[in-house]
Structure 1
Amino acid sequence: MVQVIDLNDNPPELTISSLTSPIPENSPEIVIAVFSISDLDSGENGKMVCSIQDDLPFVLKPSVDNFYTLTTEGALDRESKAEYNITITVSDLGSPRLTSEHNITVLISDVNDNSPVFTQRAYKLYLQENNSPALHIGSVSASDRDSGINAQVTYSLLPPETGDLPLFSYISINSDNGHLYALRSLDYEAIQAFQFTVRAVDGGSPSLSSQAVVQVLVEDENDNSPFVLYPLQNGTAPCNDLVPRAAEPGYLVTKVVAVDRDWGQNSWLSYQLVKATDPGLFTLFAHNGEVHTARPISDRDTIKQKLLVLVKDNGQPPLSTMATLNVLLVDGFSEPYMQFPAAPKEQVQTDSLTTYLVISLASVSFLFLVSVIMFIAIQLWKSKKNATDISRFTSNGPFPGHLVDVSRTGTLSQSYQYEVCLASGSETSEFKFLKPVVPILPTLQGNENSIENSALRNNFCFN
């Protein structure tokens, strides 16, 4: 009998039964491959061991009849590593050992598990006012770590929460690349800054999104000329400033007050005296617009002084406005109006002025009362005079030529005496009505009715 002794002359062999690739990321423990190993040798030469690299998130699990499974240790992240090269090494236990290797490539498929990420959490853009419509003012950008359609990002503007700003009439965005455009010309004096929110959405299902805040700052442009508040330049009611002829040099005449709607150095104003009736009489402070006398005022100086002041801003290019000042040189200003007295003297002057006002008011009241009393006395005197004139009509005598002679005899008998009632303030020739006065006569039984009838017939009223 001849016994043949085995030599370790056959390397192990590996046969893959199934292989799954690619595998989705974020999946739990999953079987990637199922394979079997074999060795033609026998004994120790036919025993085998199987292994893979240590730095891989995979594990080999032995099964029955030299079958093995290659599984994941946990969820994989495609964004960290999208492809794995696995080398399965099979070695026998012979001497010398024989080894065989088999390479497996495992691809990780993408899952939409990442939201778009903006390059900045907040953007700040600058826009010069008076811009042209459809001007590109800036861009926003967001990226997605996913792949394929899961990484396709689209942009949109979110409506403002308050609704006060008509955002969609100011700004538009290109949904594909995030470019921002100003839809209309902006005015710094109307709006200095505004902000809005941009949303980026990927194309996955379900889609994921993120947001970023964009602030637009409108930069000022020197597009407003200075406006003169004082003196008013409307031309309808010129303002005249009075200056006493006794004013000393440095006397504050007036101050030109102007404003500029622009901002920063565009609103810095300077003042310049361009023209004056007497250029040497007044001086103008360039930084605040105050007009002071430069020298004493003489009698030869014209009463009416006209000054032309140029108000200019500090913008580029500078804008300016002309202001006209009318100054009158007058007499009669007292010394207290020209100087600023101390506080105690000012109080004394105020008290004295109050006393003078009280005395003046009392004098006027007294004169008014005297006038009323005199008017009443004159009216009473006129009333007495009128009564005296009336009494003359009741006496016998020649009949006045301006009265009607009823009996045509030239005199009035006792039965035709009249009571004259004059209107107040009238002359003797003006009366209101005449009323016959019936004299007291001896009563006759037969003549009573005739006397009464005669009295009634002679009732006359004149206006």
Structure 2
Amino acid sequence: MLMSSLSNVILENSPETILAVFRIKDRDSGENRKMACYIQENLPFLLKLSVDNFYMLMTEGALDRENTSEYNITFTVSDMGTPRLQTEHSISVQVSDVNDNAPAFTHTSYTLRVRENNSPGLHIGSVSATDRDAGTNAQLTYSLLPPPEPHLALASLVAIDADSGQLFALRPLDYEALQALEFRVGAADRGSPALSSQALVRLLVLDANDNSPFVLYPMQNASAPCTELLPRAAEPGYLLTKVVAVDGDSGQNAWLSYQLLKATEPGLFSVWPHNGEVRTARLLSERDAPKHRLMVLVRDNGEPPLSASVTLHVLLVDGFSQPYLPLQEAAAEQGRGDALTLHLVVALASVSSLFLLCVLVFMAVRLCRRSRAASLSGCAVSQGHFPGHLVDVSGAGTLSHSYQYEVCLTEGSSGTSDFKFLKVIYPSIHAYGPGGKSEGNPTF
């Protein structure tokens, strides 16, 4: 058996490729010289006879290196003589790799968990992928894929090691700001052309007890404390008020319990631990103080627990129709406000009184001057050319009136002085009797 050509390495995915060409011969003659050559069955190869005992070994179809990377082929040659003689020859064929397999992640999705307030650079988990190819075609590189939401700054939150696939939180995460984060990672081989795949990663941020309870009612930052009114006739179990608080954490870290820490009268009030209701524990008596101060503790169920306290002011009243009596501090503040108001009112009244007094003095002086001037002045009646009788000028019985004017001059005035005032003196008119004679003399 003479091999004229032989290649023991072949690329996968290479159908109908010739691996070897060889010739067989037998030194006998006649029927003893006739020969047959064959290979074992169930191999993806064909042995073809051409002419003059030349054979070709070729692939039957595409080979898959990932299934079988090496084949051992045995050639068996037998003559037709009696007894038949045969010989065997074996070769090894290596199937070289082609980059025909993309990387595959061990899981299509990963769920990782990290507790909030983590240290920067903390290892939070790993992703892993494999490639069925060989050599550089199987060398993988991991990367973070751009998120679909462009506003999500993924690169500032997590990073991935390109060679190992390990994921590092870059900065501390806050559960109250970010509870979950979804992103995709990719794995690409170094073949030509490179093939890649991707997987989904869901990062869950676990809550840590980093928020203290916050009291909503009663408000602790108000300018004046809130006072609860309690009627003296209240029965035991009377609901006075309810402390309302919230916690920014979640789960058991947000479970709140309430406890009465201090009280002016310890046995008078009780606080329900699960809902914060403040109720009376007994009947009130006349000996109970009119004002009480309670301190309630609100605590969460975290580890370690965090707490906050709130102060309640309680005022005992005979009934809700009774005017509200402020606390001593509020009363003092109100007293100072009332005193200031009183001072302002007194000052305003003083200014008004002084102004009124000035007006009265001014008017009195003016009146006094006018009275003195009037007593010293004289009045003269000007006779002039004013006739003292009545004349009929219309011929229709209409009487024409004559007037006199009283001229009042001030003391020391002369005839050329100005008038102080003029006063018209109306005459007394007497009707004429029969015959046109007057029944009375006109008077002025």
Q: Does 1:269 align with 2:256?
A: yes
User: Cα 1:56–1:249, aligned 2, differ >3 Å: closer, same or farther?
Assistant: same
- TM-score by structure 1 length? 0.72
* Residue 223 in structure 1 maps to residue 210 in structure 2: yes
Partner of 1:137: 124
Gaps of 5+ in 2: 323-366, 383-401, 407-414, 423-444
Contact 1:276 1:307 in 2 (8 A): yes
Distance in 2 of aligned mates of 1:414 and 1:180 = 126
- Partner residue of 1:446? none
Structure 2 equivalent of residue 47 of structure 1: 34
SS of alignment partner, residue 24 of structure 2: strand
Going from structure 1 to structure 2, the CA distance change for 1:242 and 1:401 (only over 3 Å counts) comes to: closer
Shift in alpha-carbon separation, 1:410–1:217, aligned structure 2, 3 A: same
Corresponding position of 2:139? 152
Q: For residues 26-62 of structure 1, give each alpha carbon's deviation from its aligned partner in whole angstroms, at most 9, with x where no partner exists.
A: 1121111101110111121111111101110001111
The residue aligned with 1:403 is: 370
Partner of 1:342: none
Amino acid aligned to 1:236: S
Gap change, CA 1:404 and 1:193, over 3 Å in 2: same
CA offset at residue 412 of structure 1?
A: 5.3
Aligned position for 1:188 = 175
Question: What secondary structure sits across from 1:403 in the alignment?
Answer: helix
Corresponding residue of 2:331: none
How far has the Cα of 1:25 moved from its partner? 0.6
Distance change in 2, residues 1:236/1:97 (3 Å): same
| Alignment partner, residue 102 of structure 2 | 115
- Contact 1:89–1:99 (8 Å) recurs in 2: yes
Match of 2:76 among 89, 93, 97: 89
- Alpha-carbon distance in 2 for matches of 1:136, 1:61: 61
Structure 2 distance, partners of 1:307, 1:212, is 58
Partner residue, 1:441: 404
Displacement of 1:441 in angstroms is 2.5
Assess, with a 3 A threshold, how the Cα gap between structure 1 residues 48 and 305 changes in structure 2: closer, same or farther: same
1:442–1:227: structure 2 CA closer, same or farther, 3 Å change rule?
Answer: closer
Distance 1:301 1:39, change over 3 A: same
Q: Percent identity?
A: 61
Q: Does 1:200 align with 2:187?
A: yes
Per-residue deviation at 1:442?
Answer: 7.3
Is 1:79 aligned to residue 46 of structure 2? no
1:321 partner amino acid: A
Q: Is the alpha carbon distance of 1:287 and 1:401 closer, same or farther for their aligned partners in structure 2, counting shifts above 3 Å?
A: closer
Count of residue pairs the alignment pairs up: 352
1:291-302 mapped onto 2 (5 Å cutoff): 291-302=278-289
- TM-score, length basis structure 2: 0.75
Q: CA deviation at 1:458?
A: 5.6
What runs of 5+ residues in structure 1 fail to find an aligned partner? 1-13, 336-399, 416-438, 444-450
Partner of 1:278: 265
* Inter-CA distance 157–413: structure 2 relative to 1 (3 Å threshold): farther
Equivalent-residue separation in structure 2 for 1:88 and 1:144 (angstroms): 35
Moved more, 268-277 or 226-235: 226-235
Query: Closer, same or farther in 2 for the Cα pair 1:442/1:411, shift >3 Å?
Result: closer
Equivalent position of 1:16 in the other structure? 3
Aligned amino acid, residue 209 of structure 1: S
Q: 1:106 to 1:303 in 2, by over 3 A?
A: same
Q: Which residue of 2 aligns with 1:7?
A: none
Structure 2 counterpart of 1:212, from 199, 206, 213: 199
* Counterparts of 2:160 and 2:35, CA distance in 1: 65
SS in 1 for 2:141: strand
Amino acid at match of 1:164: H
Moved more, 21-30 or 282-291: 21-30
CA–CA distance in 1 between the matches of 2:248 and 2:16? 70
**Which residue is equivalent to 1:255?**
242
User: Does the CA-based 8 Å contact 1:249-1:293 persist in structure 2?
Assistant: yes
AA matched with 2:228? D
Is 1:36 aligned to 2:3, yes or no? no
Q: Secondary structure at the match of 1:168?
A: helix
C-alpha offsets along residues 141-191 of structure 1, whole Å, 9 cap, x if unaligned? Answer: 111111011110001111211123211111011101111101111111111
Structural RMSD (CA): 2.5
Residues 177-221 of structure 1, C-alpha deviation per residue, up to 9 Å, x if partnerless?
A: 111101111111111110111110100000000001111101111
Letter in 1 for 2:404: L
* Residues 1:70 and 2:37 aligned together: no
Distance (Å, rounded) in 2 between the aligned partners of 1:137 and 1:210: 22
CA distance in 1, matches of 2:6, 2:284: 112
2:375 and 2:260 mapped to 1: Cα distance?
A: 97
Q: What is the letter of the counterpart of residue 24 of structure 2? A: I
Structure 1 position 310 matched with structure 2 position 297: yes
Change over 3 Å in CA distance of 1:38–1:401 after alignment to 2:
closer
Query: Contact 1:142–1:200 (CA<8 Å) still a contact in 2?
Result: yes
Cα gap change, 1:47/1:412 in structure 2, threshold over 3 Å: closer, same or farther? farther
- Which string of whole-angstrom CA distances, capped at 9 and with x for unpartnered residues, describes residues 384-410 of structure 1? xxxxxxxxxxxxxxxx85416778744
Paired residue secondary structure (1:101): strand
> Cα distance, 1:233 vs. partner?
1.5
Query: Is the contact between residue 123 and residue 213 of structure 1 (CA under 8 Å) also seen in structure 2?
Result: yes
**Cα offset, 1:333, TM superposition:** 2.4
Q: Is the 8 A contact 2:8 2:91 kept in 1?
A: no
Q: Is the 8 A contact 1:405 1:411 kept in 2?
A: no
